[in-house]
Structures are given as structure tokens and as C-alpha cells.
Amino acid sequence: MASIQTIFQTNVPQRRATLADGVVLLSLAVVFYAGLTLAANFTHAQAPVEQISLAPGAIPLYTLFSVTRMLAAYILSTLFTLIYGRMAAYNRRAERIMMPLLDVLQSVPILSFLPVVLLSLSAVMPQRAAAELASIVLIFTSQAWNMTFAWYQSLTTIPKELREASAIFRLNRWMNFKSLELPFAAISLIWNSMMSWAGGWFFLMAAEIFTVGQESFRLPGLGAYLQAAAFQGNLKALAWGLGTLIVVIVIMDQWIWRPLLAWADRFKIEMAESDNPPTSWFYDLAHNARIVRWFENRIAAPLFEWIDLTLIRRYPMEDVIGGSDEKPGAGFYLSAVLGAGLLIYGAYRLGTTFFLLPLNEWFLILSGVFATMLRVFISLAIAMLWTIPVGYAIGSNPRVASWLQPIVQVVASLPATALFPILVAALASLYGGLNLSAVLLMLMGTQWYLLFNIIAGAAAIPQDLKYTSSLLGIRGWERWRTLILPALFPFIVTGSITASGGAWNASIVAEYIQFGGKTLSVTGIGAVIASATASGNYALLLASTLSMILTVVLINRLLWRRLYRLAGERFKME
């Protein structure tokens, strides 16, 4: 037992929180204040009014629009993930700012971006272009954070032996990225990409139809179709929209995600081949197709070879094991002085705004934070109870995954906000029905982050470790304690951080519901934010959003970040 446990142990110096958290929070508060001030001055602009047809014939074109927005947001999320996560993992000076900033960004509710992003863009761009770009940015905010956390976690848990091997071969940064970092993180990135698409579908309705003050913005798309159907109580149109969404999800599973998982299985760190590796009929078909082999040999291979040679010539070979800690130059200090001046002025304006906020609204914010926090922890606890065993079963047994994976993707991708009004109508007559329905919707926005990360962790457990535990006769709880839970721990922490952020975000649509022309709400900070957004009360929106962010950051710093360090210290597989 001890021999297996030591595989997951190492010593990594602990880095504690600094004033960076406070600087990041204050900076974001000032940016939000500036954006809301700009937005308030341009609410007179005419919003694009697009009539959403609920005819089934409009669905194919709407689906194309939505998938295009999702794809644009995913490309943006991938670029952000690879650049941001790598800088945070390898530059200790940057990490002190970037990781607290990531904590803050993933806790900012998606609807709080609306006035800042949309109306600010409307001030400098045509209304339709601003609405489209704002929709992509909002979908990006539901996709990027979990991918970035997963990439960062993978980079910080690469075994020391692999780092030393890359140093011996003197790989430059490009070859190190291509040959070590990306392959090591491939399985986790693919599963988190699936989760990102699911999260994008979840918030698609909010990203295509939204109201800010007196402005109502509508973009043609599947999310807008589902939102309009839910608001009108048109169950037939709702069924058509959900059916289309399920078809799109199944097509993506069979033609994209399952082939990628089958391809990425080669990157598992193991001495023995898995008994049941993941398979894909489309991957086998494409792998054996003559045109695909021709494309690989004549186009892809020469292109990648040219890229490798170009980057090798341009960048010298270097040791990339250690983190960079370069001393800043004069430009850094000048920027710091200017930034400090702006922060001081912004803090003064913020204080003025908050001072004018009525006391009863501050009480509403405080009570809302505690009510939503309770719902978040309840939903997270329920999610952990089932996602850990089910996620391990799917990730460690490809036969189980072959029929459960599509079901999980479909259920995770269904925008619960489309089904939520029906759920509220069914539970409204019960005592505490609205509170129960709010917890259920937050659970729907929480559990999938945990599940997909746990599946990725289970799939990455080396087969030889499983054989070793079997040879030692380790079974039952002892097997979970010495092998499974230590291997899953970094993925559980990553999933919990993004899941808690997802629960706080979901509180906005869970605590403030519009259905059939009626508005229902429960006590919670999400309801305060949604109500302030709908009414255009920017002072209350700013105060409630920053209160939610501060609460989430404190929880992340006091709980999840400490568990992250524990994962890096004790549960590396080396």
C-alpha cells in the first residue's frame, strides 16, 4: 500500500497569498465601474430588435448561427487557455497576479458582463456587431475558466522525470509544448472542452436574448428560440428546440469528441496497455481512409515539419524546467505607478457610489450572499456524492463509457433554463418549492464540471498501477484510499473550483425566473443581480456583483487554493 501511495507524493514549495488578491479585486471593481458608467451614458442607443420565429422551419438556420458563435467562443477560449495557463504555471511573479485574477474572473456572473460588455461595445460599434461580439464574449466566459484551470493543473503536475528528459534532449519551448505539455494534458483538455461546450449550451439562452435596463437584445439562434418558447410557454416549440439540440450534441460526440478521446489514449503514462482502450467508429474510418492518409503525408506532415524547423531555428534550445522570475524593467515600474494612480481614483469613485447606496439594499445584498452560499454548498455536496463513483466508472471502463458518455453529454448540454420553468411550475405548490427548484438548477450547473474532470482523472490512471494494486490484493475501500482517490484528487479540486463558480453563476438564472409573462424570485445574490440588470440599477448591480466576487474569491483562497497546493505537493504521479 505504501509503495502505491508514494507514487503520488513529492515536495513543492508552498506559495502563499499576497496583496495581489486585493489589487486584482480592486482593479476589477474599477474596470466594472468604468464599464457601467460608460454603459449608462449610451443606453439611449436603439437596440436591434429581431423577431424570433417559433416555426420548426427556422430551427436549422438558428442552429447554424448558434454553433458558429459557440465555435468562435471555443477558439477564443482555447487560445486564452494555452497562453494564460502556461504563463501562470511557469512565471512565479506572474502567477501571484494571474491565479487570483483567474479566481475572480471565473466567479464573475455571466449576466454581470452584459452592461459592461454589450453597452460599452455599442458605444463604439454598430448595434448588431456589438450584440454578436458580446454574445461570443459571454459564451467565452462560460467556456474558458475550467479549461484554463485544467491546463494549469496539468502543467504543474507533470512528473519530474519527464521534465528532466525534456532538459536532457534540450527541447526549446515549442518542442517542449508539442512533445511534453500538450500530450500530457490532452485527456484533461479534451474532457474539459466537452464540458466547455456543455457550459456554452447551458448559457446560450442568456447569451442570445437579454434585457439591460430598457434595452432588449435578441440574436437569431437556437438559444433565442428556446428562450422565446420557454417565455411563451410553448411546449411544442420547446420540444422541437431541445430535440434539435440533442441531435447536434450526439453528432458532435460521434464525430468529434469520441474520435479525439480514442486518439488521445496514446498519451496516457503507463507501462502496460489498457485492456479496453476507448474506440471510435469514425476515428477508425478516418484513420483508414485514403484521402486522410494523403492529407497527412502531403500536407499536414510537411506543414508541421516546416513549423518545427522554423521555430527551432528562431528560438534557441533552453532548459524549461524551472519557472521564470525575471526582474522587471523601468517600464514595469512606470506602468505600476500609473496603474496605482488610476486604482486610487477608481477606489474613490467606487466609495462614493457605494456610500450613496441605501442601507436596505446593502442588507438585501448581505442576506442574498448567505442564502446563495448555502445553496452552492448544498448543490456541491450533492454533486460530489454521485459524480466521484460515476465519473470513475465512466473514465476507467471504456465499455461503460461507450453508452454512458453520449447520455452524459446530452444531459449536461441541455440548457436547464429551458426546462426550469416547467420544474418551477411543478414544485411551486410545495412548501419551499422555489428554494428547492433553485438548488436543483444550481446542481444542474455544478455537477458536470465535477463529473467531466473526474472522468478525465480516472481515464489518466496508468493501467500498470491498477495491475499493481490487484497483485497486492488491494480491493474495496482500501483501493479507493491508496490509489483511486489520490489519483483523482487534483481533478476533484479542479472540478470543485469550476463547479462552485458555475453554481454561483447559475444562481442568477435559478433565483430569478421569468415564465409565461410572470417573474418569480427567491432571496439570493443571484436574484439581486438579475433584478438589477433587468431594471438598469447599475449601482446595485455593481455592489451585488462585487459582493459575489469577493465571497467566491475568499472561499477559493481559504479552501480550494489550499487544496490545490496539497494536490501539487502530495498527489503528483512520480
Segments making up each domain of the chain, as ranges: 51-321+362-570
The Cα 97–Cα 301 span in angstroms is 39
DSSP of 170-225: T--HHHHIIIIIHHHHHHHHHHHHHHHHHHHHHTHHHHHEEEETTEEEE--SHHHH
The rounded mean pLDDT for the chain is 77
What are phi and psi for residue 91, nearest 5 degrees?
-115, 105
Determine the average pLDDT of the residues in 154-179.
84
**Do 23 and 99 form a contact (C-beta atoms < 8 A)?**
no
Of 458 and 106, which is predicted with more confidence?
A: 458
The Cα 313–Cα 511 span in angstroms is 57
What are phi and psi for residue 274, nearest 5 degrees?
-65, 145
pLDDT given for residue 428 in this prediction: 61
The Cα 181–Cα 101 span in angstroms is 23
pLDDT given for residue 505 in this prediction: 77
* Region of poorest pLDDT, from 66-70, 137-141, 430-434, 450-454: 430-434
* Region of poorest pLDDT, from 18-32, 97-111, 399-413, 474-488: 18-32
Of 227 and 572, which is predicted with more confidence?
A: 227
- Among the listed residues 26, 27, 29, 39, the one whose alpha carbon sits nearest the alpha carbon of residue 538: 39
Cell numbers 497486492 correspond to 472
pLDDT given for residue 66 in this prediction: 92
Torsion of CA 425, 428, 434, 439, to 10 degrees: -60
Read off the pTM.
Answer: 0.72
Cell numbers linked to 547: 459582493
- Among the listed residues 13, 30, 11, 180, the one whose alpha carbon sits nearest the alpha carbon of residue 95: 13
Cα 309 off chain centre by: 34
Is beta strand 215-218 parallel, antiparallel or unpaired with respect to 209-212? antiparallel
Cross-strand partners of 209? 218
Cross-strand partners of 512? 521
**Helices and strands, counts by H and E, the chain:** 29, 4
Cross-strand partners of 210? 217
Determine the average pLDDT of the residues in 550-571.
78
Is the model's pLDDT at 13 over the cut of 50? Answer: no
pLDDT given for residue 69 in this prediction: 92
Q: What is the pLDDT of residues 494-521, one digit of tens each?
A: 888 878 877 887 787 778 776 656 677 7
Percent of the chain with pLDDT over 90: 8
Q: How far is CA 327 from CA 319, 332, 340, in A?
A: 18, 10, 19
Q: What is the pLDDT of residues 411-447, one digit of tens each?
A: 776 666 666 666 666 666 666 667 787 888 788 777 8
**Do 541 and 36 form a contact (C-beta atoms < 8 A)?**
yes
